Structure formats: C-alpha cells, structure tokens
C-alpha cells in the first residue's frame, strides 16, 4: 500500500472448551475430530480471534459488543457471519485488511494437515492473497488446559490500512 496510507494493528484472542456432540470448526473449516468446541455460536475460536483483531484495529470494540452471547439470535450462528459483518463495518469506514497472522493452540487434533486449508479459507473470506495470511499451530506441550486437551485457543494479529 502507498506511503500515504494510515495503518493500524489489532490483536484478538479466543478460547473454548472441547466437548462431545459438537462439530470442530476452525477458521471456517470443519475438522474431523470426536469433540468440538462448546459455545453460544459455532465456537470457531479462529474466526472469533480474527474478528476481534479486525474490530480492535479499527477501534470498533469486540465481538461481544456486536454479537453478544446473551442475544438468542446468535445461538448456533456460523462465525463467518460475524467476520463478514465486521469486515463490512471496517470497509464502510475505508479500512482494508493488509495481512493476518494467526496462531492456533491445540494439543489435539494435530493441525499440520489442515493449516493450509484454514489459511486459504481465511484469505478467501478476507479477500486477500494467500501470502497475506499466515496460520501457525502450537501444542500445549501437555501443560495447562490446552495441553490436557480440554480446550483450543487462538491468537490473531491483523494489519489494516486506508488512504
């Protein structure tokens, strides 16, 4: 982007417990696993962290401000809706996503085989080239709630810019 652009950085984080009877969805991708994330919506920690990073960069609060878990209309919602609506708000203000870096923390399942699918899906959802999105996966090294396989978490950092 040109030098006369304004840039902002946002950071997002989310975590959810793993439980039986739920699908595991990360970055909008359904992952074959016997347990899924428990939450008011589809509990996609990746899309929640990305949405928070974008909203934070634009100074628009967080996902809970726009889509509170106390509102029954968001029950079971596909988190791609949260991302799309938040992205539309940024775009209306003239902001565009420049790049995104995501770290997923999960002891199980092993995410190496699905990182590229998550990356491609995030890039498509944000209208970015694949090389403007990075996805990393880390285990909990058997320590804490992540390491014991009780939860999955995600941290996202986004750069946005506008003329």
Residue 163 confidence (pLDDT) above 90: no
Full-model pTM: 0.96
Determine the Cα–Cα distance for residues 148 and 115; give it in Å rounded to an integer: 21
Residue 100 confidence (pLDDT) above 80: yes
Residue 1 confidence (pLDDT) above 90: no
Instruction: Express the helix, strand and coil content of the chain in percent, nearest 5 each.
Output: 35, 30, 35
Residue 4: pLDDT band (50, 70, 90) is confident
Residue 117 confidence (pLDDT) above 90: yes
């Amino acid at each position: 982007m040109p030098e006369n652009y304004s840039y902002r950085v946002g950071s997002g984080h989310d975590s959810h417990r793993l439980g039986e009877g739920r699908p595991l969805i990360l970055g909008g991708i359904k992952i074959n696993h016997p347990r899924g994330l428990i939450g008011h919506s589809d509990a996609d920690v990746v899309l929640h962290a990305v949405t928070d990073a974008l909203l934070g960069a634009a100074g628009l609060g967080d996902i809970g401000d726009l889509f509170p878990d106390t509102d029954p209309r968001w029950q079971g919602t596909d988190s791609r809706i949260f991302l799309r609506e938040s992205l539309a708000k940024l775009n209306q203000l003239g902001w565009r996503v420049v790049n995104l870096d995501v770290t997923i923390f999960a002891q199980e399942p092993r995410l190496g085989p699905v990182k590229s699918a998550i990356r491609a899906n995030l890039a498509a959802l944000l209208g970015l080239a694949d090389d403007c999105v990075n996805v990393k996966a880390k285990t909990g090294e058997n320590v804490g709630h992540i390491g014991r396989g009780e939860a999955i978490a995600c941290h996202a950092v986004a750069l946005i810019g506008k003329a």
